[in-house]
């Protein structure tokens, strides 16, 4: 054993987690706000989990600007790197990770930091390998699927890009019953539906309409109307229907919070309630998601804490 090498490795692992935290703090403010209430030991792997998701998503988006083929290759690189981490995580050194990263064509050492954090967290938390791989498949869908005919089709997408995150997080949070995973899946669906409703305008600008085509027809809402950013009674009724659907998934998900370890229940309930408040904001805007992006501010988050804390304590 070489004490100096062990010290260097420990410093690099610490650096990797700090980087993952900075990514989370910058790009997922509500998620980061809720995660700060976790025990310190569980914060680090949660940040690493988010950083991986963010890196993959950003790299696919960047590659897609050039071609779908580049986006596909970006995901293949990530899958190879993650597979290496899973297969050799107890033997991988920081130097080897950097070499593998460069060989794979990943663009920055930052990606190596994310992989290093994962190699460390997997020593403690048994996150099934299929979950991050499934997430990558979902992220790649955005490059070639711009419409969803039915809600069942959209559900698969939401599961891949969001429920997988909830399922991975559950392994870090800890739980007493496998049924917890069913509720974690529901929370992912609820949050992704919230994203879709909040971002109708932004997605349309990229020729993406996630709202199921069957629902557009049901409420007589046209794609032309969405591209023109027009709100009318038909659109309002359709959005109200979608919001109710999302809330039903939030309601289902919260039934599983009591099955989580006590030191994580408040964080999950807080994340659920804060994110669902975006739906409230859409309603306050009379469902006009074209003129203003619905969000909740820091003051709203802080003032939400006492009631949610009391509720979480009673679970």
* Of the listed ranges 9-23, 37-51, 86-100, the one predicted with least confidence: 86-100
- Options 2.40.50.100, 1.10.10.10, 3.40.30.10, 1.10.600.10; CATH of 145-315: 1.10.600.10
* Residue 227 confidence (pLDDT): 97
Residue ranges of the chain assigned to CATH 1.10.600.10:
9-127, 145-315
Give the pLDDT confidence of 100-156 residue by residue, as tens digits: 444 443 344 588 899 999 999 999 999 999 999 999 999 999 988 999 999 999 999
* Residue 8 confidence (pLDDT): 60
**CATH number for the domain running over 9-127:** 1.10.600.10
Give the pLDDT confidence of 258-273 residue by residue, as tens digits: 999 999 999 999 999 9
* Residue 59 confidence (pLDDT): 86
* Residue 102 confidence (pLDDT): 43
SS in 3 state form for the chain? CCHHHHHHHHHHHHHHHHHHHHHHHHHCHHHHHHHCCCCHHHHHHHHHHHHHHHHHHHHHHHHHHHCHHHHHHHHHHHHHHHHHHHHHCCCCCHHHHHHHHHHHCCCCHHHHHHHHHHHHHCCCCCCCCHHHHHHHHHHHHCCCCCECCCHHHHHHHHHHHHHHHHHHHHHHHCECCCCHHHHHHHHHHHHHHHHHHHCHHHHHHCCCECCCHHHHHHCCCCHHHHHCCCCCHHHHHHHHHHHHHHHHHHHHHHCCHHHECHHHHHHHHHHHHHHHHHHHHHHHCCCCCCCCCCCCCHHHHHHHHHHHHHHHHCC
pLDDT tier at 7, thresholds 50, 70, 90: low
* Residue 91 confidence (pLDDT): 45
Q: Work out the percent of the chain whose per-residue pLDDT is above 70.
A: 90
Give the pLDDT confidence of 152-206 residue by residue, as tens digits: 999 999 999 999 999 999 999 999 899 999 999 999 999 999 999 999 999 999 9
Residue-averaged pLDDT of the chain: 90
């Amino acid at each position: 054993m070489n004490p100096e090498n062990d010290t260097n490795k420990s410093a690099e692992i610490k650096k990797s987690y700090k980087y993952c935290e900075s990514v989370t703090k910058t790009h997922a403010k509500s998620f980061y706000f809720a995660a700060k209430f976790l025990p310190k030991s569980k914060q680090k792997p949660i940040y690493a989990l988010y950083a991986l998701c963010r890196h993959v998503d950003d790299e696919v988006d960047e590659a897609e600007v050039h071609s779908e083929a580049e986006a596909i290759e970006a995901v293949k690189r990530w899958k190879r790197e993650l597979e290496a981490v899973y297969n050799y995580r107890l033997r991988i050194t920081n130097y080897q990770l950097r070499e593998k990263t460069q060989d794979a064509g990943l663009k920055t050492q930052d990606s190596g930091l994310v992989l290093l954090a994962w190699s460390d967290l997997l020593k403690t938390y048994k996150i099934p390998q299929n979950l991050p791989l499934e997430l990558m498949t979902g992220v790649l869908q955005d490059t070639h699927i711009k419409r969803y005919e039915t809600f069942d089709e959209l559900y698969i997408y939401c599961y891949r890009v969001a429920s997988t995150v909830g399922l991975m997080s559950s392994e870090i949070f800890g739980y007493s019953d496998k049924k917890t995973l069913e509720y974690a899946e529901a929370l992912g669906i609820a949050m992704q539906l919230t994203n879709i409703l909040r971002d109708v305008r932004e997605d349309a600008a990229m020729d993406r309409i996630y709202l199921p085509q069957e629902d557009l027809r049901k409420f007589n809402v046209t794609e032309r109307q969405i591209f023109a950013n027009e709100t009318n009674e038909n659109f309002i009724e359709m959005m109200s229907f979608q919001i109710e659907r999302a809330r039903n998934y939030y309601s289902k998900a919260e039934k599983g919070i009591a099955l989580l370890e006590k030191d994580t229940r408040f964080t999950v309930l807080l994340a659920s309630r804060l994110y669902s408040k975006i739906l409230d904001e859409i309603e306050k805007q009379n469902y006009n998601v074209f003129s203003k992006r619905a969000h909740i501010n820091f003051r709203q988050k802080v003032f939400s804490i006492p009631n949610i804390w009391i509720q979480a304590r009673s679970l």
